[in-house]
Structure 1
Amino acid sequence: MKYNQAYDRAQQLKKFYKNLLWFGIVAVIITIRNFYRTGDFERSVFSGSIILTIWGIILAVKAVKLFVLNDEWENKILEDELKKTKKPINF
């Protein structure tokens, strides 16, 4: 992996973890707020929030992009496709 690619990946990971931390903080604040409103902990945790649901989906997509569909995966698929289309040379 080249330096620029490694630097870009480190920056993406930094942004992802920062976003994940903020998600956790906001989720705790919303859960505590709902607990004080309802007085029931189970109801306050599982009542759901549109904001947290959408944010969670976005974080899940980013996590898949960062950890599953990374550069190594892309290079492997590219090499496999090139091997399929490569025709043998007959002399």
Structure 2
Amino acid sequence: MDYETASERTNSIRKFYKSIFIFALFAVLIIPDDIFGEKIIHLSLFDRYTILAIWAFIILVKAAKLFLFDSEWENNMIEKELRKDKRTIKY
């Protein structure tokens, strides 16, 4: 892994953690207001819980992309396919 790739990955991880922090901050500000105010959670199509759920799903997708399907994983799969292709080609 060269410096540029490592720098990009570090920047992506930093942005990911920043988005988690902002999400958590909004969740902490939004959720207790409803729970302690009415003592019941009402769900509708575009209420704050739906927005938080969509936002959490987006963060999960980003996490999967960043930590599970990162560029190193992609490079390993490409190398694996190239090795497999070399074994099947007979000269």
Normalising by the smaller structure, the TM-score range is: 0.7 to 0.9
Query: TM (normalized to structure 1)?
Result: 0.82
Give the share of equivalent positions with the same residue, in percent: 38
- Count, aligned residues: 85
**Counterpart AA for 1:7:** S
Query: TM (normalized to structure 2)?
Result: 0.82
Deviation at 1:85, TM superposition (A): 1.6
| Structure 2: tracts of 5 or more residues without a match | none
Cα RMSD, aligned residues only = 1.8
Provide the rounded CA distance (Å) in 1 between the counterparts of 2:28 and 2:5: 35
| Structure 1: tracts of 5 or more residues without a match | none
User: For 1:11-50, what aligned pairs fall within 5 Å after superposition?
Assistant: 11-38=11-38, 40=39, 43-44=40-41, 49-50=49-50
Provide the rounded CA distance (Å) in 1 between the counterparts of 2:31 and 2:57: 18
**Counterpart AA for 2:72:** E
